[in-house]
Structure 1
Amino acid sequence: MAKKSISKGIIKDVVIVAVGVLVIWIGLQVAFGTQNPFYVVASGSMIPVLEVYDVLIVQGHEPFEEIEVGDIIVFNRPSDHNRVIVHRVASILDDDPKTIRTKGDANPASIPGTDFPITEEEYIGKVAYILPQVGYITQLLKPPINYVIIAIVIGIMVVKQIAKRKKEKELSFTDPLDSENPDTIEELSDIDKIEEDIEYSEPTELKETKENEESSETESNESTKSDGKSEEYKK
């Protein structure tokens, strides 16, 4: 029964954490207008502006039509869309439909199929913020480190639930006489004293009745003795 309670407690904690993460993630997607607001720089093509492991926060609400030369944007590689790239806009190739060419700051020239042609279809968003070197965390969270962290978190939840159940069990079996509250002990002692007084004391009315009966018996005996002596004198 205790194991089931612990399991339910762990599941509850995991659900709360998962729901919290989901709510935060959905909130970020809505706020920045993109399915993934965070990207980690994986190459040195934008050095020195962007270093490897810098985290980029991308603003998807920035319209593609308003992108200008000099903006740093994130986009899918136009040749196959299987890679995300972050480069600077180098020129506007066409206005209808708008088509742009990009280039990495550290690259000598634009690469066809990678840097251009970029249309609205490839566009993801404009770089709004840069978090230097925060991407090292993502490297630490790669397997097997991420599994170790998950195991530690689950272990903490288990210990937490066991400690909670143990505390509740101790509280449920606490003896009131062992309480540290002196008023409770004194009150219980007074009750014992009252019961003792009731047990060994007689009511006043009963005591007086007994005394009266004993007095009447004594008088009656004396009277009987006196009558006996009188009869003897008469004889």
Structure 2
Amino acid sequence: MGSSTKSLIKDVVIIVVAIAVIWLGLQAVFGTSNPFYVVSSGSMIPALEVYDVIVVEGNTPFEDIEKGDIIVFYSPKLYEQGKERVIVHRVSLDMSTDAQKIVRTKGDANPSSIAGTDYPITEKEYLGQVEYVVPQVGYITQILQPPINYIIIAVIIGVMVVKHFAGKEKKKIEFQYTKDSSEVNEPDNNSEENKDESTDNTLHKEIADDSDKSFENNSDSEYTKSSESIDDDKKEI
């Protein structure tokens, strides 16, 4: 077996172990076997749009669920038949009795609750409460099966967070760079101005010297001619 093959196998093993650790970690953090679900219907519009990804946490006890909470649960009618159809709706009514807590739910876009689907919801159908919503990420995960799609969603969320903080840090660095550049360039501008002033003084001095020389060595007509030259020089300057 070549070294390249060994390296490839090693990389694959590392990736598989990393995925397993991430997945188990997500389950532990959110307290549920499936922390992520993709919205597949419009029954909760506008709160939840189709292909939104909801992050569900199962750490909230069913006893603590109140009216207005958005929860994820199995359809009670199908669950009795051994089928697991997952639904996300909002709690609309507490139907609890002295013996058992029972709630009724309703989709925000639905006109009313549906018997066998929205109620009666008990603890055995309850999966968790919606904690976060990630808009439209579900578009790219519909073709994949769990847990790969959930891991991809987790990676996307992580990248979004990293880019968010990286963008802030980049802006901070650019601002500091601009500030430092301004501090460095300021003396150069002053030096340039001083250089221009020095050049002007030298030109005026040379003109003055030429004027004195003409006055000493030439006649009145020559002095007048020299003066006209000085005026021309000043115009050029």
TM-score (norm 2): 0.57
Q: Whose radius of gyration is greater, 1 or 2?
A: 1
Distance in 1 between residues matched to 2:143 and 2:39, nearest whole Å? 15
Distance in 2 between residues matched to 1:99 and 1:52, nearest whole Å? 28
Q: 1:141 Cα deviation (Å)?
A: 4.3
Range 112-121 or range 74-83, more displaced: 74-83
The one of 6, 9, 12 aligned to 2:7: 9
Return 5+ residue gaps in structure 2 as ranges: 150-237
Q: Secondary structure at the match of 1:47?
A: coil
1:70 and 2:85 matched: no
The one of 79, 103, 106 aligned to 2:106: 103
Q: 1:6 Cα deviation (Å)?
A: 2.5
1:38-86 Cα distance to aligned partner (Å, 9 max, x none): 0110000000100001000111000100100000000011112220000
Residue identity matched to 1:12: K
Distance in 2 between residues matched to 1:108 and 1:8, nearest whole Å? 61
Distance in 2 between residues matched to 1:77 and 1:139, nearest whole Å? 21
Identity %: 65
Distance in 2 between residues matched to 1:103 and 1:136, nearest whole Å? 25
1:135 counterpart residue number: 138
Matches within 5 A, 1:11-160: 11-81=9-79, 82-95=84-97, 96-139=99-142, 141=144
Q: Aligned pairs, how many?
A: 141
1:78-137 Cα distance to aligned partner (Å, 9 max, x none): 112220000000101123300010000011111111100000000000000000111112
Distance in 2 between residues matched to 1:17 and 1:137, nearest whole Å? 21
Distance in 2 between residues matched to 1:87 and 1:77, nearest whole Å? 11
1:171-212 Cα distance to aligned partner (Å, 9 max, x none): xxxxxxxxxxxxxxxxxxxxxxxxxxxxxxxxxxxxxxxxxx
Q: Alpha carbon RMSD of aligned pairs, Å?
A: 1.5
Q: Secondary structure at the match of 1:112?
A: coil
Q: Secondary structure at the match of 1:88?
A: strand
Q: 1:139 Cα deviation (Å)?
A: 2.8
Which of structure 1's runs of 4+ aligned residues deviate more than 6 A? none
Return 5+ residue gaps in structure 1 as ranges: 147-235
